[in-house]
Amino acid sequence: MTNRRDFLKKAGIGAAATVAGVSAPYVHAAKKTTIKWRLQTYAGPALAEHVIKPSIEAFNKAANGEMVIELYTSDSLVPTGELFRAMQRGTIDAVQSDDDSMSSPVDIAVFGGYFPFATRYSLDVPALFNEFGLGKIWKEAYDEVEGVTWLSAGAWDPCNFATKKPIRSLADLKGLRVFTFPTAGRFLSRFGVIPVTLPWEDIEVAVQTGELDGIAWSGITEDYTVGWADVTNYFLTNNISGAWCGSYFANEDAWAKVPEHLKTLFMLSVNSSHYHRLYWYWAGEARLRVEGTKMKLTTIPENEWKQVEAEAAKFWDEIAKTSPRAAKVVKIFKDYNAMMEKAGSPYRCS
């Protein structure tokens, strides 16, 4: 029995030693290099603090060293208009932007950013993408483009004018030099607006120097957040869109190298970003209209603003003719908005 016990003890020690001997190099071999991404947002530093930074910081913390995302703000690595190509080449790994301003080479790019009167409220965007088919259409479009993966779309703020001079009629729009998005600019030019393209960080100075008469790039929350409320005097309550539509994209190869559990974690952080913006903007738009002291509110009378809405219907039909897929998107917009009108309050209020 003594010999047997001694044998078992020695065998146990030997077995442990063997396991230790095998496991040590296995653990060493299992160590992996941290995945590092560079992600550039369309937003400048002050705005990025709200629209993306909290979610990226949360992702980096939860990834626990397996992956780290370095966040870059508007134009810091490449100009916004070159974001898509830079991501496609792998110069950057991911992007938060709208299709329109980053010149996506897809036929539905015009619907990113502010497509005139496509939405009235911020909830319209996730509803359209997740429940009414736009998500499938966006995926289909980007699957045809090599090197880029479309991940998810969400809502931002509405599109209102912030100007140095008051706007109280459509006639006041004529000749205004305004910083805005490409498609929004095309539409607004029908009313005499002169769209101007400048780097995002130059806008405040351009308004101060008179190079710009105003901005049609955001709602009142961003005007206060980024400093534009300090250089403009008036805020037009009429908007041409109830919510900006922006997306997250990734370089195809970079996305493929991310393990599934980190992909899931990243998408959770994206959804966190979408959710945060919904209530941040919704609260901000109301609070600053009521409590803000930097800009006076003006409004174009409803009967006159109806002309803008009527022109938007013509614009939709023109865009629908550009491709079968664009026509499909326009039909979804029409069907969706017709449904919302029939549903009545609180979905649509006349």
**Residue-wise pLDDT tens for the chain (350 aa)?**
444 445 334 444 343 333 333 344 444 445 679 999 999 999 999 999 999 999 999 999 999 999 999 999 999 999 999 999 999 999 999 999 999 999 999 999 999 999 999 999 999 999 999 999 999 999 999 999 999 999 999 999 999 999 999 999 999 999 999 999 999 999 999 999 999 989 888 999 999 999 999 999 999 999 999 999 999 999 999 999 999 999 999 999 999 999 999 999 999 999 999 999 999 999 999 999 999 999 999 999 999 999 999 999 999 999 999 999 999 999 999 999 999 999 999 999 86
Q: Please give the pLDDT value at position 349.
A: 80
Query: Nearest-5° angle of CA 295, CA 299, CA 305?
Result: 145
Q: Please give the pLDDT value at position 32.
A: 74
In order of start, what are the domains of the chain with their CATH numbers? 35-155+244-287 (3.40.190.170), 160-242+291-343 (3.40.190.170)
Q: Please give the pLDDT value at position 302.
A: 95
Please, which residues have CB within 8 angstroms of residue 237's CB and are 6 or more apart in sequence? 160, 289, 297, 298, 299
* Residue position matching structure tokens 């939709």: 316
Measured distance CA(114)–CA(290) in Å, rounded: 25
Nearest CA to 225 out of 41, 48, 40 is that of 48
Measured distance CA(307)–CA(203) in Å, rounded: 29
* Residue position matching structure tokens 């001079």: 165
Measured distance CA(187)–CA(310) in Å, rounded: 12
Q: Please give the pLDDT value at position 20.
A: 37
Question: Which stretch of DSSP H or E encloses residue 280?
Answer: helix 260-291
Question: Cβ-count burial of 263 within 10 angstroms (0-12 exposed, 13-18 middle, 19+ buried)?
Answer: middle
Measured distance CA(266)–CA(273) in Å, rounded: 11
Q: Please give the pLDDT value at position 30.
A: 54
Nearest CA to 154 out of 190, 188, 129 is that of 129
